[in-house]
A and B are shown apart, each in its own frame.
Chain A
Amino acid sequence: GAVVSQHPSWVICKSGTSVKIECRSLDFQATTMFWYRQFPKQSLMLMATSNEGSKATYEQGVEKDKFLINHASLTLSTLTVTSAHPEDSSFYICSADLLGLETQYFGPGTRLLVL
Chain B
Amino acid sequence: ELKVEQNPLFLSMQEGKNYTIYCNYSTTSDRLYWYRQDPGKSLESLFVLLSNGAVKQEGRLMASLDTKARLSTLHITAAVHDLSATYFCAPGGYGGSNYKLTFGKGTLLTVNP
**Most chain A Cβ neighbours within 10 Å, of B42, B45, B96, B105:** B42
B35, B41, B45, B100: the one within 8 Å of A49 (CB): B100
Interface residue total, chain A, C-beta cutoff 8 A: 21
Q: Which of A14-22, A71-79, A99-107 contacts B (4 or more CB under 8 A)?
A: A99-107
Contact A102 B31 (CB under 8 A): yes
Contact A93 B43 (CB under 8 A): yes
Given A44-B103, A49-B98, A102 and B92 contact (CB-CB distance below 8 Å): yes
Contact A43 B31 (CB under 8 A): no
Q: Is the interface of B mostly helix, strand, loop or mixed?
A: strand
Contact A57 B96 (CB under 8 A): yes
Q: Is the interface of A mostly helix, strand, loop or mixed?
A: strand
Contact A51 B98 (CB under 8 A): yes
Contact B41 A34 (CB under 8 A): no
User: Which residues of A7-56 have CB atoms within 8 Å of chain B's CB atoms?
Assistant: 32, 34, 42-46, 49, 51
Contact B31 A109 (CB under 8 A): no
B25 within 8 A of A: no
| A-side contacts of B88, CB under 8 Å | 43-44
Q: What distance in Å separates the Cβ of A68 from its nearest Cβ neighbour in chain B?
A: 19
List residues of B whose CB falls within 8 A of some A CB. Answer: 31, 35, 40-43, 45, 48, 88, 92, 95-96, 98-106
Given A34-B100, A106-B35, 20 further pairs, Cβ under 8 A? A32-B98, A32-B99, A34-B101, A43-B88, A43-B105, A43-B106, A44-B43, A44-B88, A44-B103, A46-B101, A46-B102, A49-B98, A57-B96, A57-B98, A93-B42, A93-B43, A97-B99, A104-B101, A105-B45, A106-B43
